[in-house]
Every structure is written in C-alpha cells, then in structure tokens.
C-alpha cells in the first residue's frame, strides 16, 4: 500500500524529492527509499551510524518529521548542492570593487541552490559624492537591478530559481525610492523587499515627530515619521510590498546578540541572519501527532512530540556537517554557531482535530503551549548533544543566558545550559512549508490557517485526455473518514473568513517560543480600509511579532477569489465547438501536464529568420505546435545557425525551451526570461527598437509566434483569456493567478510568498 494519502502527494514527491538519474530513471523506487536515503546520509556523522539511521527513519516515516525541501531532495544524493535553505550574504562594501565581489558570491550561492538575503543600506545614496572620480553615486537601487539581472540567469539546483530578499533601513536617504521600486512591474522581479523598522522610528511615528534620513553621519533629508510610515503602508496596501521587519526586536531577542549583528533575513523572513549566516529548516507535522481526532478526548501526544523533536534536532545538527557550502565564510559561520530552524506544519489541522477554531483565544493559548513544549524539548535535546559532542564554538554561558529569548526560558532548561552548554545557538523557526505540506498529504501549511478545505485540480494525461482530482485538506479527509458527509462544524474556518487581528494573534502566540522568526501571511479583505490596514502592523509590533507580511487582493496583486452568480455551465456556454463537435479547452484554461507529452508523428509549425547586426550568419528559429482539445500551443523549438560559435548555446537553448514547452502550463514566461537577458557588450537596434541581446531577440520571435497562434493576447501579455471564463461560480474552489510553472490557477500567498498549491512552485524558491 502506498504511504501517500492523495495523488498530489505522490506527484510532488516524484517531481521534487525523488532521486533520479540524469535520464529520469528513478533511483528511489518508493518513498521509503527516499526516507532511507535521507536517514542514512544524516546518520553518517554519528559514532554508530546504523543505530541512528533506524531512529532517523522512524522519525521520517509517515511524514511525522519533514526536513525542508533541500534536505529531502539533496541528502544522500552525492550531488554538489547545499542542504541549507537560507543564507544572508556578507556586508556589501560601499565601493565598486566590493559590490561586484558580493555579486559574485551571490551567484555562487544561488548556483548551489540557496536563497539569499542582502542589506543594501550600506551603499551610499543616489547623488552622493564618489571621491576620486568626480561623479555622483547611482545609489543602492541601481545595484539591486544588477543583482536582479544576475538572479534571472541562474537556475538554482533542483530546477528552483534563486530567490532574494533585499532590506533597507528606514533611515536610509533612498528609502522612499526603495518603498516604491516594485511598483514598476518589470523591476526587481527576483526580489522580495522589506523595510528595517527601528524602535526609534516607531516611537517617532506614534509621536508624529520628525525623522532624519542619513548616511555615514550626514543628514540628507528630514521627513515626518508618520508620513514615511504611511508611504510604506500605502505601498503594501496597494502592491503587497515592501514587508516590514522590526529589526531592533530581532537583535534584542537574538541568542547571539553578544557576537553578531543582524540586518537582513532570508527571502521569506523567518530567518534573520548575520553576514554569511546560514540556516537549515525542518518541520514537525503536528497533524500526525493528534490522538483520537475529533473525539471528546482528542489531544496532542506530547510524549511522542518530545521524542520526535529530540530526534529531529539531532538530525538537523548532523546536516551542518553533511552539507556542502558555496563559500568558506558560510561554512565557518554555520559550524561556529550550528544554527538550526526547527518549526511546525499542520498546526491549523491539529487545532481542528482537537476542536478549536483557528484565531480564537483558546487556539492562541493552545498554540503557545504547543510551541513552548517544542522549544523546551529542542533546547534540552541540544544540551544533550553538547554533552556528547561539545557546545557550539562561540558559546559563552553568561552572555548566552542573558540574551532576550533565554530570559523567559524554563529555569531547569537554563540550568542545564549553564552546566553543559548547548550544541545549537538557535533552534526554532517557522518556515514556509507549502510543498512539503502537500507531500505530507496536504496538511495545513506552517502555522497558517487552512486556505481551502477542498479544491479540484486538473491533470492532462499523456493521451491528451484530462482528469480531475479533488485535493482535500488532511483534517477534512479524516473528518470524512469518521463522519461521512456530515456537515463540518462551525470551528472549521479558513484564511478568508478570519479577521486580520485573528491572524496576528496566532502569529504573536507562536513567536513567544520561536527564537528566530516566523513566515506567515496576514490575509486582509479587499475592502479593508487603509486606517484599519495600518492598525494590523501596529498590532503586530505591539504584540511582539518580529515582522509582518500582509496580502490584500486587488487589481494589482491579483484576486484570490472572483465570484460570479452564474453556474459554471452558464459561464462557459460561449465556447466555440471544433469541427468534431466537441467543446475545446476554454481559451482561458491552462493545461497542466504531469509528465511530458509524447511527440506526435507530425506537427505544424513556422520557421523564422533572425539576422543579428554585425553577425555573418542568420539564425533560423523553427517553432512547432501541438493541438490539444482544439487549442494550439508551442511544443518544441529548433534554433540553427551556420556560425559555429553559436553551436553550443543554440543546442542548449533548443533542448531547454523544448523541455519547458512539453511540460505544459503557462510557458509564456520563457519569453519574459529571454527578453530580460542583456549582453554587457551591448545590444542592437532592430526595426526601430533596442534589443539588449541576441537571446532577447530570440525571445521576441517566440513571443510573436505565440501571439500569431493565439496562445497569448499580445506583446508583454500573458495567456489569452476570456473574462467570462475567468469568473467563478459561487461555491467553486478559490482561484488565484496562473502558476508560471504548471499553469494551474492555484497561486496563493502562503507564509509571505506566492506559492502554487498544485505543483509546489514558489516565488521564494
């Protein structure tokens, strides 16, 4: 019998975590093979690897402990990838040479699969003097554009794009430009942005006082603090960025405040890290630990929780020794402090299974109790490891125990640390778990509420037919198994029915016992007033949160749920039948392909000639299309040239673009990626337009072909759609924007990042 409780779980495992050789042949024949591979790799640093391998396997079994994706996909594979999820890079020097040294380090880190964070506050503002060259500085945002372009060209390990976080202090002279930078939809697409908000600034906001914008001791501007705060809030209200990080609180509560200063976080914000800081992640699946779900005596098996946490801490500590690192500074930082980020997933499901409404006062209290239990078990497990293997090298008992997050720790835990030391400087974090939550049977993600209790997912089969799968929340599936079609109780609430204050309440309850931070989205209704929206951030600040990320559906960010009164049949009645009398796929529907389609014997296509200025030979681009249910879509590309200098990259591009096209979905992103490539040697003028590179010119040819066959609406636009079809009937599953990876209309803001719940694609990698 399969361990997977739903088809989507098996598909996620096969696509993302199953070890395969280069031709796609599986090495892991079953998920048990994957668990054994991970357990064996993480037991290798132990004195008795065989004994610990079995214990680690038991922790992984039935999805009870879920190492983060990089560990699950990379451990035991022998591949040159990092098992760490999060990096903050070194402090950026305020010099041209130093800036580009940092750019190189970022490229090397993303090449191995790490998401990175940077503080751009250290770069002098736009217009400042550049001594010795009689010039004005271009400012940090200009260099962020360079980082963004670099990130576009690097595909992270495991087919995951690099993700980046950029932070800037609220007193930097360019902060106002930073706040509005992403209101240009074409700019900084590879970045998440967050403002580093200080306690002094919040005091000035409350007092409606002045606020100085300064750099290197020089005051450039003075603004009203409340006006600047309102600009941050308005940008977030309208564009969902920038986020807000309460940086003073992060440093005050840091266990390592005595030996490091933090000014940036990883892309999703749950890991504030010092320069070259690295952290690895994993989650306890609380939904798997509830005894007698939905019964009067339902409760979390706390003894099992303690044991599982202790095993997970040991496994994650071993990852520090088993992982590769892109840079020696990252390895040194990781081994000096041995930071880990143990978190949870399935919290909302666990609360439902014990009869509690997410967002209620009792649910918040229960969350705090459970997280306290996890923190206590994690710290005691790390003390035990210190007794066996030694404390982390920078441990100083007096300074460590005086840090902010240790002051309220249980006295017996503090005494154990004082006597024996501790192996890991920080232990807890709540990270995004969208993909691993699907892999574990669609448990609720992280500490988020359930987004949708059930939704329908379309899958295109190799023969061209489409099937529909119902994806059901883990707790709802258990409810159905116990009570059949009985109506769900009132305490079954979802992300859209909760008030923002209830979201914040749950984040604050968890934060008390999380020594790093939390990745969570505060869902706000579209019609929330601006003043009420601002109050959400003030509530987060006043209740002890370390940051705040909101999502308000609107025309810019995309509506999570469109509602129409028509039945689906009425909304789709205008489809034009094809010659055989069947209704084709609606123009706005996206075909999702679980596996590449087989190539038919014959395809229709077009060949285009591209003559790049100053090049002796033209490039010929052939694009062939496949017709699926009456709709024509690109299937493969061939790029040819007599110029042998072009041979290697044209072959590579042919293979890569064709592979993407054969996977289906909204492949129009290929055009965007190619058109964004610039050649540092210069582009060319073609037909009255400046084209930044020959690759961008190829992207333009593919775009024109997509327009010609009706696949996209027009230049710079996405899938061709019909407003009638985009509407949904009341009661339909929530529908977000199309996923750029699989094309499913299932993108959701989860834990601070747009994530596809059909295939697991995440903007934050």
Q: Which two tokens stand for residue 161?
A: 């794009």
**What is the Cα–Cα distance from 266 to 278, expressed in whole angstroms?**
9
Enumerate residues 6+ apart whose C-beta is below 8 A from 25.
Answer: none
Three-state DSSP class for 639? strand
Of the candidates 5, 14, 735, 763, the one whose C-alpha atom is nearest the C-alpha of residue 349 is 5
**What is the Cα–Cα distance from 363 to 355, expressed in whole angstroms?**
9
**What is the Cα–Cα distance from 111 to 104, expressed in whole angstroms?**
11
Give the helix ranges, DSSP H, for 566-607: 568-571
From the list 270, 448, 636, 703, the catalytic residue is 270
62 DSSP 8-state letter: G
CA atoms within 13 A on the CB side of 715: 5
From the list 192, 251, 255, 266, the catalytic residue is 266
Q: Are 654 and 619 in contact (CB under 8 A)?
A: no
Instruction: Report the run of H or E that residue 321 belongs to, with start and end.
Output: helix 302-322
DSSP strand pairing (272-273 vs 604-610): unpaired
Catalytic status, residue 574: no
From the list 86, 151, 268, 753, the catalytic residue is 268
Of the candidates 650, 675, 762, the one whose C-alpha atom is nearest the C-alpha of residue 159 is 762
Catalytic status, residue 703: no
DSSP strand pairing (135-136 vs 129-130): antiparallel
**What is the Cα–Cα distance from 47 to 36, expressed in whole angstroms?**
18
Catalytic status, residue 251: no
Q: Are 418 and 323 in contact (CB under 8 A)?
A: no
Of the candidates 365, 368, 369, 319, the one whose C-alpha atom is nearest the C-alpha of residue 342 is 319
For residue 19, give Cα distances in angstroms to 28, 151, 280, 305, 353: 5, 26, 20, 29, 34
CA 182 to chain centre: 18
Cα-Cα end-to-end distance for the chain: 32
Q: Which two tokens stand for residue 219?
A: 């005051």
Enumerate residues 6+ apart whose C-beta is below 8 A from 133.
Answer: none
CA 355 to chain centre: 30
Instruction: Report the run of H or E that residue 578 belongs to, with start and end.
Output: none
For residue 390, give Cα distances in angstroms to 167, 314, 423: 35, 13, 6
Query: Which residues are identified as catalytic?
Result: 266, 268, 270
């Amino acid at each position: 019998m399969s361990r997977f409780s739903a088809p989507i779980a098996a598909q996620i495992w096969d696509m993302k975590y199953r070890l395969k050789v280069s031709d796609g042949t599986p090495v892991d024949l079953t998920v048990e093979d994957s668990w054994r591979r991970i357990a064996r790799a993480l037991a290798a640093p132990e004195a008795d690897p065989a004994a610990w391998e079995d214990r680690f396997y038991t922790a992984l079994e039935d999805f009870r402990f879920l190492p983060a994706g990089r560990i699950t996909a990379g451990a035991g594979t022998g591949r040159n990838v990092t098992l760490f999820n999060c990096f903050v890079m070194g402090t950026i020097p305020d010099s041209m040479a130093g800036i580009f040294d940092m750019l190189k380090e970022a490229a090397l880190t993303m090449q191995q699969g790490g998401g990175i964070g940077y503080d751009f506050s250290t770069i002098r503002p736009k217009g400042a003097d550049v001594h010795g060259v009689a010039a004005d500085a271009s400012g940090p945002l200009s260099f962020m554009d360079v980082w963004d372009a670099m990130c576009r060209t690097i595909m992270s390990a495991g087919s995951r794009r690099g993700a980046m976080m950029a932070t800037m202090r609220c007193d930097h002279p360019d902060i106002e430009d930073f706040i509005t930078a992403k209101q240009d939809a074409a700019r900084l697409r590879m970045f998440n942005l967050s403002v580093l908000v200080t306690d002094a600034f919040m005091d000035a906001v409350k007092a409606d006082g002045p606020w100085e914008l300064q750099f290197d001791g020089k005051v450039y501007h003075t603004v009203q603090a409340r006006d600047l705060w309102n600009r941050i809030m308005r940008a977030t209200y309208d564009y969902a960025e920038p986020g807000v990080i309460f940086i003073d609180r992060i440093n005050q509560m840091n266990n390592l405040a005595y030996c490091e200063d933090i000014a940036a976080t990883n892309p999703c914000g749950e890991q504030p890290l010092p320069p070259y800081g690295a952290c690895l992640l994993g989650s306890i699946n609380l939904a798997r630990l509830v005894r007698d779900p939905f019964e009067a005596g339902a409760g979390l098996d706390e003894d099992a929780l303690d044991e599982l946490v202790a095993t997970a801490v040991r496994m994650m500590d071993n990852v520090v020794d088993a992982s590769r690192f892109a840079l020696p500074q990252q390895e040194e930082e990781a081994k000096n402090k041995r930071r880990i980020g143990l978190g949870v997933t399935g919290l909302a499901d666990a609360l439902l299974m014990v009869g509690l409404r997410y967002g209620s006062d009792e649910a918040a209290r229960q969350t705090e109790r459970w997280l306290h239990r996890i923190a206590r078990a994690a710290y005691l497990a790390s003390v035990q490891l210190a007794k066996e293997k030694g404390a982390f090298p920078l441990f100083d008992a007096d300074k460590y125990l005086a840090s902010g997050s240790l002051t309220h720790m249980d006295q017996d835990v503090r005494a154990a640390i004082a006597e024996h030391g501790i192996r890991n400087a920080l232990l807890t974090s709540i990270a995004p778990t969208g993909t691993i939550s699907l892999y574990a049977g669609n448990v609720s993600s992280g500490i988020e509420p359930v987004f949708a209790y059930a939704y329908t997912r379309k899958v295109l089969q190799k023969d061209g037919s489409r099937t529909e799968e119902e994806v059901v929340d883990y707790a709802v599936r258990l409810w159905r198994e116990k009570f059949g079609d009985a109506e769900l109780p009132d305490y079954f609430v979802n992300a859209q029915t909760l008030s923002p204050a209830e979201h914040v309440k749950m984040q604050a309850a968890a934060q008390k016992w999380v020594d790093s931070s939390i990745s969570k989205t505060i869902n706000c209704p579209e019609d929330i007033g601006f003043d009420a929206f601002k109050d959400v951030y003030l509530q987060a600040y006043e209740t002890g949160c370390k940051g705040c990320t909101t999502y308000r559906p609107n025309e810019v960010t995309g509506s999570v749920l469109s509602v129409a009164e028509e039945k689906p049949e009425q909304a789709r009645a205008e489809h034009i039948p094809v010659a055989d009398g069947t209704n084709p796929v609606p123009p706005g529907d996206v075909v999702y392909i679980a596996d590449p389609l087989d190539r038919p014997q014959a395809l229709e296509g077009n060949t285009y000639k591209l003559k790049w200025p100053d090049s002796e030979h033209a490039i010929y681009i052939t694009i062939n299309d496949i017709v699926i249910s009456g709709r024509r879509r690109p299937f493969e590309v061939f790029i040819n040239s007599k110029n042998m200098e072009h041979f290697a990259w044209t072959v590579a591009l042919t293979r890569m673009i064709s592979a993407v096209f054969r996977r289906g979905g909204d492949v129009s992103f290929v055009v965007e990626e190619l058109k964004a490539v610039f050649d540092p040697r210069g582009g060319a003028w073609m037909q009255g337009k400046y084209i930044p590179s020959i690759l961008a010119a190829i992207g333009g040819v593919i775009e024109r072909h997509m327009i010609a066959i009706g696949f996209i609406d027009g230049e710079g636009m996405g899938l061709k759609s019909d407003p009638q079809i985009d509407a949904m009937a009341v009661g339909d599953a929530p529908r977000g924007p199309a996923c750029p990876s699989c094309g499913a209309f299932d993108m959701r803001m989860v834990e601070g990042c747009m994530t596809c719940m059909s295939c697991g694609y995440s903007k934050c990698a």
